[in-house]
Every structure is written in C-alpha cells, then in structure tokens.
Amino acid sequence: MNQFLPSILDWKEEGLVLEQTTNFPREQGTTLRVNSSRSAPRTIHIRTPGWTNSASEVKINGRALEANADPGSYLALRRIWKDGDTITVSLPMELRQELLSGDDSVAAALYGPLVLAADLGRAPADESSRVLQGGDPVPKKLPAAAPLLKAAAGPDAKTGQWVQVDSKDDLRFTAAGENGKHSLMPMFQISDQRYGVYWQMQRSAKLG
C-alpha cells in the first residue's frame, strides 16, 4: 500500500480483494479490509511515510503489532489472510519545517505531508486572474506578488514555537509573524486567495 485514499484492489487471478477506507489527511491513518478466497500465505507491504514519527502503529484485527517499519520504509505483513481481516495504520502528523535549498534563513511550514500556506486575502477580481483564449498571451496589470512572510522565530526554532494547530479535524493553523498572526491552511485548500508559503526566519528573534 503506497497511497492513503479510498480505493479497492480486486485481484481476480489471486482471489484477493483489498478495500481501503480513510478520510486522510483529516484522519491520521487508514484501514484496509481483506477478502480472500484462497488459503495461502500472502505478503502485504504497508508504507510508513518519512513524514510520520515513531508513534506510528499497525494493527491487525485490532491487535497492535510489536514490529514496525522505520519512517520512509515498508512493513511486510505475511500471513494467511481470511475474509474480514483488517489492517489499521496509524500515521500521526506533526508540525515541521523545511529550509529553502541554498538559504537556511527561509523555510516552509508543514504538517505531516501537507505544505501550509498563509491566507493573505482574496486575489483581485480582474482580467489578470482569468485564462485568456486568444489575444495577448501576457496579462496586463498583474497584481503585486505576495510578500515574503516574516516569522517571529529564528531558523533554529522548532516549528511548534511559531505555528500552532488550531483544529486537527479542519486542518486549521495559526503562525506567529513579525507583524502579527496569520491563518494557515493546507496548500491544496487554496483557491482564489493570495497566499504565502515561504517564511523569512528572524535570526534576532527572542524565543520563549
């Protein structure tokens, strides 16, 4: 299993059906239900992504396994699977940051695999935001680019010192900027807003 999304694998030649149910990324994990018409050992590989932590857990039929894979690798589960067997995978997310390559004073904030974007308000509702069908391919009167955000933290600060989780279920966050607080959301939820992803870390910030 590589991707965490609702899906069904129907492997007729092997008499094996795997059904995955999840509300990822709002749900920090996923569940696989097994249906097998053959009494033979099979191996199911479960990916443990690099962004999760050592608290990740795999359960078979509600029973936690003692073994687990290191983040960024796979856990091989080999057994004779029966109809109705379930594999439950817990993938805890945590705040983290990634520095811009070549500039360790600029960073992006992430929550698990999700890049967090600051909502900077709605974009101008003018012709420059539309897809043009013919005519001049260069839009006129482009709005100014979003400014580089300034974090109220230094480059060595942990993400949790300047970003807080407001709601795990709604995936809402708040970041402490140099000029006040900013609302954050996953990048995939951005639509018509102006937004910022990269933060200038303040080397002189006093961290509490």
Confidence of residue 154 (pLDDT cuts 50, 70, 90): confident
Strands 7-11 and 86-90: unpaired
- pLDDT of residue 203 exceeding 80, the answer is no
Confidence of residue 206 (pLDDT cuts 50, 70, 90): very low
- Please indicate whether residue 97 or residue 205 has the higher confidence score (pLDDT): 97
Mean pLDDT throughout 61-74?
91
Quote the pLDDT of residue 34.
97
Confidence of residue 194 (pLDDT cuts 50, 70, 90): confident
Arithmetic mean of pLDDT over the chain: 87
Mean pLDDT throughout 50-66?
93
Confidence of residue 142 (pLDDT cuts 50, 70, 90): low
Quote the pLDDT of residue 205.
42
- pLDDT of residue 129 exceeding 60, the answer is no
- pLDDT of residue 3 exceeding 50, the answer is yes
CA separation (Å) from 40 to 82, 88, 197? 10, 21, 49
Report how far residue 126's alpha carbon sits from residue 119's, in angstroms, rounded to the nearest whole number. Answer: 19
25 preceded by cis ω (within 30°)? yes
CA angle (49, 55, 61) in 5-degree steps: 85
Q: What are the backbone angles phi and psi of residue 153, rounded to the nearest 5°?
A: -165, 160
Domain with CATH 2.60.40 in the chain: 7-90
CA angle (200, 121, 116) in 5-degree steps: 50
Quote the pLDDT of residue 149.
87
Report how far residue 100's alpha carbon sits from residue 201's, in angstroms, rounded to the nearest whole number. Answer: 11
Alpha carbon distance, N-terminus to C-terminus of the chain: 42
Report how far residue 199's alpha carbon sits from residue 144's, in angstroms, rounded to the nearest whole number. Answer: 18
Task: State the residue for tokens 């935001």.
Answer: 129
Is 112 within 8 Å of 51 (Cβ atoms)?
Answer: yes
What CATH code is assigned to 7-90? Answer: 2.60.40
- Size of the chain in residues: 208
Please state the pTM of the whole predicted model.
0.82
Quote the pLDDT of residue 98.
93
